[in-house]
Amino acid sequence: MIGILLSCAVTLPVSVESLTEYIQCRNDVYMIEYVEQWKPLVDKYFDTTDDKIQALKIIYCESRGKPNAKGLNKDGTYDIGLWQFNDNTWTWLKPKLKIKKKRTDPETATAVASWLIYNDGWHHWNPSAHCWKDT
């Protein structure tokens, strides 16, 4: 994660491209700092620096780091927790992974997110990709 922080501080040649990169970097740093309390948990369940950065950005974008965050969807389902697991997704994963705790438990949710990402990819969070994916 130090790389992303240092990259913002490096002087770039003045150009439209470097300004865009700098703004993106500062946005990433802001998101990561906002949810830094979850960094030890993310470090525990994610392997690479890039994955850890992506995970923290998703936590920021989905819940602003609030483990009890709850969002109602148009179809009547809820997205709950740090990672905003949908009712349907949680119902599918609960028996598959033998989950005993609630989506509001940060460690459980992060462990499940890690499993889902490493076994099926980041696409489960595509609805918020406009926030966490680099432009």
pLDDT range class, residue 8, cuts 50, 70, 90: low
pLDDT range class, residue 29, cuts 50, 70, 90: confident
Residues ≥6 apart with Cβ < 8 Å to 24: 134, 135
**Residue type for 9, please?**
A
User: Domain 2-132 belongs to what architecture?
Assistant: Orthogonal Bundle (1.10)
Which is more confident, 6 or 88? 88
* pLDDT tens, residue by residue, 72-122: 999 999 999 999 999 999 999 999 999 999 999 999 999 999 999 999 999
Look at residues 120, 123, 125 and name the one whose alpha carbon lies nearest to residue 96.
Answer: 120
Which is more confident, 21 or 41? 41
Which is more confident, 6 or 37? 37
Q: What is the mean pLDDT of residues 63-80?
A: 97
Which is more confident, 70 or 17? 70
Q: Are 132 and 60 in contact (CB under 8 A)?
A: yes
